[in-house]
């Protein structure tokens, strides 16, 4: 179990909670905390234990429209011949109907059923009407996954609840925001060993304002979970072999720069085989083992969406799906040149849009300013509105819609609105693409 939380503040609202839901392909978890990030807990699927994992599985009782979820589903499949529906997340992403006993089911509806049933574990601790915000976190937040989670969110019918989505990488980032600063003074490394071994390395660029946070990933597809032999000598040999392999991976991961903290995640570490590796990792850094980091990070991500804390304001995470630059325009306000912010770096590109209006000083050109947070130089982008009627200065009003078509490409749609009765709209519109 991972702990660590900030001091309580005026953001805490009596009785209200925010929820972090780790929706995994094999296992899921639910954590919750106060709206200021304090009092964070992870729900146990077995009362009085730290068994946080909820198997992401449903099963149907044969011949009856009765469904079971999680550990209850596994028990019913094993003991009473229940019909399993596994890999719910992948099925929902594919969007293909699931056939059970000759009847077709919407995979998104089945995933929603699983989430609804699993939230009953939370309702035994806190009434669901106390939820202020719910953050889903998944391994890879693609546009398709956003669509799926949107359907799930709609099916939950949690009226008045703010619902958000983020990836595991962003949950890692938000988790660290809520840890003591000495734990992430330098690089932080996660070893995630649930299926194949994967490493995540988080580090900050302290030379920028706000400080830019990057997370790099590396996978080891040949380093997969094993089945342990029954014979003790064979098991001891297997542990030694696995420890030796992990030692190579660990030494590689911590060799580049200073590492403050290491987290060992996943059920693959449960057998306690990594003696030499952990001894090496503990020499000059803090090492933690657990499996609820992503759900807790989702909690803290929801807190940041509601009201960013000091660390959230001073840092920005630039993941692979994040906008890497601030986008704006040079404008004149009260006779002085100024910058008008349109889009901010750190947002998911597929969720980022902007609508605004401008009045042209003169001519038919729009000028955008791209300000990278990755250390590159400022860039200008010009758009020429061919065929825009000539009018006196400051008598052309334009309505502009901007949305991201990719992480590095914006589409700008412009509409001529004219200027009242004096200069009616020409009805013309333009669409341009600019690199950002």
Q: Give pLDDT, residue 209.
A: 85
- Residue 75 has a CB neighbour count (10 Å cut-off) of 13
Distances 128 to 17, 30, 131, 135, 341 between C-alpha atoms, Å: 9, 13, 6, 14, 38
Q: What average pLDDT score do residues 415-432 get?
A: 93
Fold assignment, 325-435: Substrate Binding Domain Of DNAk; Chain A, domain 1 (2.60.34)
Residue 280 pLDDT more than 80? yes
pLDDT band at 5 (very low <50, low <70, confident <90, very high): very low
In percent, the amount of the chain with pLDDT more than 70 equals: 97
The domains spanning 172-291 and 325-435 adopt the same CATH topology: no
Peptide bond into 210 cis (omega under 30): yes
Q: Give pLDDT, residue 236.
A: 92
Average pLDDT value over all residues in the chain? 93
Distance from C-alpha of 72 to C-alpha of 275, rounded to nearest angstrom: 35
For residues 158 and 134, the answer to whether their CB atoms sit within 8 Å is yes
Q: Give pLDDT, residue 51.
A: 87
What are the sequence ranges of the domains in the chain?
17-166, 172-291, 325-435
Q: What is the pLDDT of residues 48-102, one digit of tens each?
A: 777 899 999 999 999 999 999 999 999 999 999 999 999 999 999 999 999 999 9
Q: Give pLDDT, residue 9.
A: 45
CATH of 172-291, one of 3.40.50, 3.30.60, 1.10.10, 3.30.420: 3.30.420
Distance from C-alpha of 65 to C-alpha of 315, rounded to nearest angstrom: 49
**At 312, which helix (H) or strand (E)?**
helix 310-314
For 17-166, CATH gives 3.30.420.40
Q: What average pLDDT score do residues 34-45 get?
A: 92
Give the pTM: 0.89
pLDDT band at 177 (very low <50, low <70, confident <90, very high): very high
Q: Give pLDDT, residue 359.
A: 93
DSSP 342: E
Q: What is the pLDDT of residues 336-385, one digit of tens each?
A: 888 999 999 999 898 899 999 999 988 999 999 999 998 889 999 999 99
Q: Give pLDDT, residue 11.
A: 46
């Amino acid at each position: 179990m991972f702990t660590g939380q900030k001091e309580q503040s005026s953001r805490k609202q009596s009785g209200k909670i925010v929820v972090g839901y780790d929706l995994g392909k094999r296992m899921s978890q639910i954590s919750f905390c106060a709206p200021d990030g304090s009092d964070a807990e992870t729900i146990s699927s077995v009362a009085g234990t730290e068994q946080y994992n909820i198997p992401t599985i449903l099963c149907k009782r044969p011949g009856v429209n009765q469904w079971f979820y999680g550990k209850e589903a596994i028990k019913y499949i094993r003991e009473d011949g229940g019909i399993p529906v596994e890999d719910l997340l992948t099925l929902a992403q594919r969007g293909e109907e699931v056939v059970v006993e000759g009847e077709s089911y919407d995979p998104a509806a089945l995933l929603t059923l699983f989430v609804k049933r699993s939230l009953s574990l939370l309702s035994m601790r806190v009434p669901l009407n106390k939820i202020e915000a719910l953050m889903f976190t998944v391994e890879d937040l693609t546009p398709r996954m956003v669509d799926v989670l949107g359907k799930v969110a709609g099916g939950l019918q949690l009226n008045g609840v703010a619902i958000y989505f983020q990836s595991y990488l962003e949950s890692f980032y938000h988790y660290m925001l809520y840890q003591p600063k000495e734990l992430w003074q330098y690089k932080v490394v996660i070893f995630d060993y649930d299926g194949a071994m994967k490493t995540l390395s988080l580090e900050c660029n302290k030379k920028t304002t706000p400080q830019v946070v990057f997370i790099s990933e590396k996978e080891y597809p040949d380093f997969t979970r094993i089945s342990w032999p029954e014979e003790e000598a064979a098991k001891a040999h297997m542990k030694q072999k696995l420890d030796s392999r992990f030692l190579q991976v660990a030494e590689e991961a911590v060799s580049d720069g200073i590492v403050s903290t290491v987290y060992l995640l996943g059920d693959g570490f449960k057998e306690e085989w990594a003696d030499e590796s952990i001894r090496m990792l503990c020499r000059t850094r803090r090492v933690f083992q657990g499996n609820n980091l992503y759900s807790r990070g989702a909690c803290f991500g929801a807190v940041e969406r509601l009201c960013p804390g000091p660390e959230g304001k001073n840092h920005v995470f630039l993941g692979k799906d994040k906008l890497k630059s601030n986008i704006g325009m040079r404008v004149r306000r009260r006779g002085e040149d100024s910058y008008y912010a349109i889009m901010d770096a750190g947002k998911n590109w597929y969720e980022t849009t902007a609508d605004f209006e401008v009045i042209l000083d003169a001519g038919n050109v729009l000028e955008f300013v791209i300000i990278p947070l990755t250390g590159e130089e400022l860039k200008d982008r010009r758009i020429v509105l061919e065929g825009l009627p000539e009018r006196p200065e400051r008598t052309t009003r334009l309505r502009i819609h901007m949305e991201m078509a990719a992480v590095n490409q914006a589409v700008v749609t412009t509409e001529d609105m004219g200027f009242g009765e004096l200069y009616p709209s020409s009805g013309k519109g333009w669409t341009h693409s600019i690199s950002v």
